[in-house]
Amino acid sequence: MKRNVWATLYWPVAALIVLASVFPLVYAIATSLKQGNALFEPTLWVDAPTLANYATLFRQQSFGRNLLNSALVSAGVVALSLALSLLAAWALGRVNFRGRGVLMLTILSASMFPQVAVLSGMYELVRALGLYDSLGSLLIADLVITLPFTVWVLVTFMSQLPKEVEEAAMMDGLGLFTLIFRIFMPLLWPAMVATGLLAFIAAWNEFLFALTFTISPEQRTVPVAIALVSGNNAYEVPWGSLMAASVIVTLPLVALVIYFQRHIVAGLTAGSVKG
């Protein structure tokens, strides 16, 4: 009986969730197809749709190159974060040693400073390493944002994995790296995918560091490119182009999610541990 109640509630609630999540984007897309005065009317229907905004975007700026840059930086940051964090998570999540708590808090403290305050120190560091105006600068800068988060999440999930797995591995004489990467990692797949996705998006949308550490158009990433999208005058918000840019930027992320869905499901079946 009770199960039916949940089942009937499911569809309306799911529909509401989809509507609430997607409506602003749909509205934005409708806006991106409008021109001139139509922008100021609160209608969803577009009288005279035009793709002019999208064309302008690629013509005016090297948007394609910006997309590539963002992809490289984000992928690099995620790969590095997850690798480093997985190792650290085993140590912090499954080994009891003195100073563990303090260490966790210290790692967390990197996330407690507002980005803008860390900016000038970061800028100095980047210039000292000779990485100014290169993607490498963003790689290290974004690590400050993603590392504490990936470490903490993976520690939490890693510590919940059953002891038996580890004991069995030790019985079989497996080394540490095999243990972590061949045995624990598949078990943690849902957590890794979720964390990886969130870290990817965080790095993808990071604006302040990207604005400050790159200056040539070829090195810029997508959020900065969006900020540079220009209108006809100093005050006009170029809605059309802005929305076009947002749509282009959001789609790869959505595609990523859909792709990784399958891996989460696969991880589920691999993750069931009996006994």
Partner 1 sequence: MSAGLNRQRVRWAWIALLPMLTVLAAVAGWPLGRTIWFGFTDAALDRLGEWQFVGLDNYIGEFGGLAKDSDFWGAARNTLVFAFLSVTLETVLGLIVALVINHPSPMRTFLRAAVLVPWAIPTVVSARIWGWMLNDQYGVVNHWLVQLGLIGAPLAWTADPSLSLFTIVLVDVWKTTPFMALLILAALQMVPTDCYEAARVDGVPPSRVFWRITLPLIAPGVAVAMLFRTLDALRVFDVIYVMTSNSRHTKSLSIYVREQLIDFQLIGAGSAAATALFFVIALVTILYLGFARRRMAEGAA
Partner 2 sequence: MTRTARRAMAPQALMATALLCAAAAQGATLKIACTGLGKELELCREAAGAWARKSGHQVEVVTTPNDASERLALYQQVLSSGSDKIDVFQVEINQVGLLGNHLLDLRAYSKGVEKGHFESMLANSTVGGKLVAMPWFIDAGLLYYRRDLLEKYKQEVPQTWEQLKATAQLVQDAERKAGKDKMWGYVWQGRAYEGLTCNALEWVASHGGGTIVDDKGKVTIGNPNTVKALTTIAGFVGTISPTAVLNYAEEEARGPFQNGNAVFMRNWPYAWAATQAPDSPVKDKVGVAVLPRGSGDGARHAATLGGQALSVSRHSKNAALAADLVLYMTSAEVQKDRAIKGSYNPSIQELYKDPDIRKANPFMGSLLRTFTSAVARPTAVTGSRYNQVSSEFQNAVHEVLSKTAKPEEAVARLNTRLNQLSRGGRW
Looking at residues 124 to 153 of the shown chain, list those that interact with partner 1 (rule: CB under 8 A): 124-125, 140-141, 143-144, 147-149, 151-153
Looking at residues 201 to 230 of the shown chain, list those that interact with partner 1 (rule: CB under 8 A): 201, 205, 207, 222-223, 226-227
Summarize as ranges the residues that interact with partner 2 (CB under 8 A).
36-38, 40-41, 119-120, 123-124, 127, 133, 211-212, 215-217, 224, 227-237
Least distance (Å) between residue 23 CB and partner 1: 9
Cα angle 178, 183, 187; round to 5: 150
- Figure out which of the listed residues 67, 110, 183, 228 binds partner 1, where binding follows CB under 8 A: 110
Least distance (Å) between residue 190 CB and partner 1: 5
Residue 158 binding target from partner 2, partner 1, none, CB below 5 to 8 Å by type: none
CB crowding 178-198: b at 16 or more within 10 Å, else e: ebbeebbbebbbebbbebbbe
Least distance (Å) between residue 234 CB and partner 1: 16
Instruction: Calculate the CA 241 to chain-centre distance.
Output: 23
Looking at residues 20 to 79 of the shown chain, list those that interact with partner 1 (rule: CB under 8 A): 20-22, 24-25, 27-28, 31, 40-42, 44
Distance, CA of 41 to CA of 242 (rounded, Å): 17
Whether residue 143 contacts residue 83, with contact meaning beta carbons closer than 8 Å, is answered with: no
Q: How buried is 250 (Cβ within 10 angstroms: 0-12 exposed, 13-18 middle, 19+ buried)? A: middle
Least distance (Å) between residue 51 CB and partner 1: 19
Whether residue 203 contacts residue 149, with contact meaning beta carbons closer than 8 Å, is answered with: no
Of 186 and 217, the one with the shorter C-beta distance to partner 2 is 217
Question: What is the maximum span of the chain, computed from C-alpha positions, in angstroms?
Answer: 73
Of 78 and 242, the one with the shorter C-beta distance to partner 1 is 242
Least distance (Å) between residue 68 CB and partner 1: 17
Distance, CA of 38 to CA of 240 (rounded, Å): 11
Whether residue 228 contacts residue 66, with contact meaning beta carbons closer than 8 Å, is answered with: no
Q: Please tell me whether residue 239 binds partner 1 under the rule CB under 8 A.
A: yes
